[in-house]
């Protein structure tokens, strides 16, 4: 990639002033594009006032450079333009008939494929992954290959002297009789430094302080989901499970999640969607909100209207009941729920809009 290419790309990204699809460089052997989305959302939950914010608005630049007939090099950078200017991912790689490989800061396979979740706001509580891996990693290698009726995707993330989690993931998808079946497994390990005077309460409610020696957390995550379309109707179901334990055997957290989701196209522009999600947890050696086990139900319905490929509006309502274990962090719909959060048959509402380019 020559200096002329960089001289064209960088100013175009930094000073682009319009929100339309933009090919910012095109040459005989390469091209670059500037894309992104601006988002606004209005949310209401029982214990808080109405909130208006810009969600996770973002912008990205990507480049593809042809080396030969079966080998292209690529690069991608995405950054947040919401509350602060922050790098979301940045990686380089190569692609061809043999597949695609990327290296750098990127979403790992399990988090990127995610699963059955049609929501814009409140879904994804059943997908119990990422607690140790983080879902996104600063130093990772990812390979994917798509055939006529199957897809393979694998990631490996480096521990970097214990600063990050070491992660290995493998997922695959096959198409059988109109059904898309995806399954995979993720193994993540992360060093945990010594923790002194950690406060908790014993079975009698007395406050106690515990010192935990240096240890390692291990998370084994697995999931399978099935999807099928029947004309304008989409139906999907998913099962996921996560077993987290400290390697000295003092603590364990076992979680499972289930979901059944649908979407239906009313016409070329409008559709409705919804899902029921169930998740539960069981602990050993510690408590979450004074509980060793718990469960949560989420039922949401929504509608989206796409004026064109660049602009859409949507609304969603959810019924939530139960207790979360490690909380929910869903980059797909901006949902963030703190650990040990309890809901008592509560209703939540949201509307939003997105402009893409």
Per-residue pLDDT tens over the stretch 207-234: 888 777 778 999 999 999 999 999 999 9
Q: Which of 352, 355, 353 is nearest to 44 (CA)?
A: 352
pLDDT of residue 331: 65
CA distance 58 to 131: 24
pLDDT of residue 330: 61
CA 109, 112, 113, 117 torsion-angle sign: positive
Indicate the range of 66-70, 135-139, 283-287 predicted with least confidence: 283-287
**Maximum average pLDDT range among 76-80, 270-274, 324-328:** 270-274
3-class SS at 147?
Answer: coil
pLDDT band of residue 328 (cuts 50, 70, 90) is: low
3-class SS at 49?
Answer: coil
Per-residue pLDDT tens over the stretch 146-165: 999 999 999 999 998 878 99
- Cβ atoms of 217 and 132 closer than 8 Å: yes
- Cβ atoms of 105 and 138 closer than 8 Å: yes
Per-residue pLDDT tens over the stretch 181-206: 999 999 999 988 777 777 777 777 78
Q: What is the pTM of this model?
A: 0.87
CA distance 192 to 289: 22
pLDDT of residue 2: 40
pLDDT band of residue 180 (cuts 50, 70, 90) is: very high
Tell me the mean pLDDT in the region 68-77: 96
pLDDT of residue 268: 96
pLDDT band of residue 179 (cuts 50, 70, 90) is: very high
Per-residue pLDDT tens over the stretch 247-281: 877 789 999 999 999 999 999 999 999 999 999 99
Per-residue pLDDT tens over the stretch 6-30: 333 333 333 333 444 488 889 888 9
Complete domains list, the chain, with CATH: 1-38+56-97 (3.30.1300), 109-356 (2.40.160.10)
Strand 71-81, strand 136-146: pairing = unpaired
Tell me the mean pLDDT in the region 28-37: 92
């Amino acid at each position: 990639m020559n200096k002329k290419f960089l001289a064209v790309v960088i100013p175009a990204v930094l000073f682009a002033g319009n929100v339309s699809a933009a090919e910012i460089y095109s040459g005989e052997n390469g091209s670059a594009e500037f894309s992104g989305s601006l988002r606004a959302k209005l949310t209401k939950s029982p214990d808080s006032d109405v909130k208006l914010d810009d969600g996770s608005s973002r912008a990205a630049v990507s480049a593809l450079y042809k080396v030969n007939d079966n080998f292209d090099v690529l690069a991608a950078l995405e950054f947040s333009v919401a509350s602060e200017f922050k790098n979301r991912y940045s990686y380089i790689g190569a692609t061809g008939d043999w597949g695609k490989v990327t290296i750098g800061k990127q979403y790992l396979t399990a988090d990127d494929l995610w699963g059955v979740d049609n929501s814009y706001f409140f879904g994804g509580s059943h997908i119990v992954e990422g607690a140790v891996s983080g879902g996104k990693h600063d130093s990772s290698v990812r390979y994917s290959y798509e055939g006529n009726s199957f897809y393979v995707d694998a990631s490996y993330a480096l521990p970097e002297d214990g600063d990050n989690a070491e992660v290995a993931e493998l997922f695959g998808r096959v198409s059988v009789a109109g059904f898309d079946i995806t399954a995979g497994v993720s193994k993540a390990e992360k060093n945990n430094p010594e923790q002194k005077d950690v406060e908790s309460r014993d079975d009698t409610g007395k406050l106690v302080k515990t010192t935990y020696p240096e240890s390692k957390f291990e998370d084994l995550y697995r999931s399978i989901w099935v999807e099928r379309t029947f004309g304008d109707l989409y139906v999907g179901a998913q099962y996921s499970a996560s077993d987290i334990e400290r390697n000295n055997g003092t603590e364990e957290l076992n979680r499972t999640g289930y979901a059944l989701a649908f979407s239906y196209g009313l016409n070329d522009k409008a559709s409705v969607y919804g899902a029921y999600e169930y998740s539960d947890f069981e602990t050993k050696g510690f408590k979450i909100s004074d509980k060793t086990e718990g469960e949560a139900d989420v039922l949401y319905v929504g509608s989206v209207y796409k004026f064109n490929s660049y602009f859409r509006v949507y609304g969603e309502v959810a019924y939530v009941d139960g207790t979360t274990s490690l909380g929910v962090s869903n980059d797909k719909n901006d949902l963030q729920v703190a650990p040990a959060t309890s809901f008592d048959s509560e209703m939540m509402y949201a509307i939003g809009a997105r402009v893409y380019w």
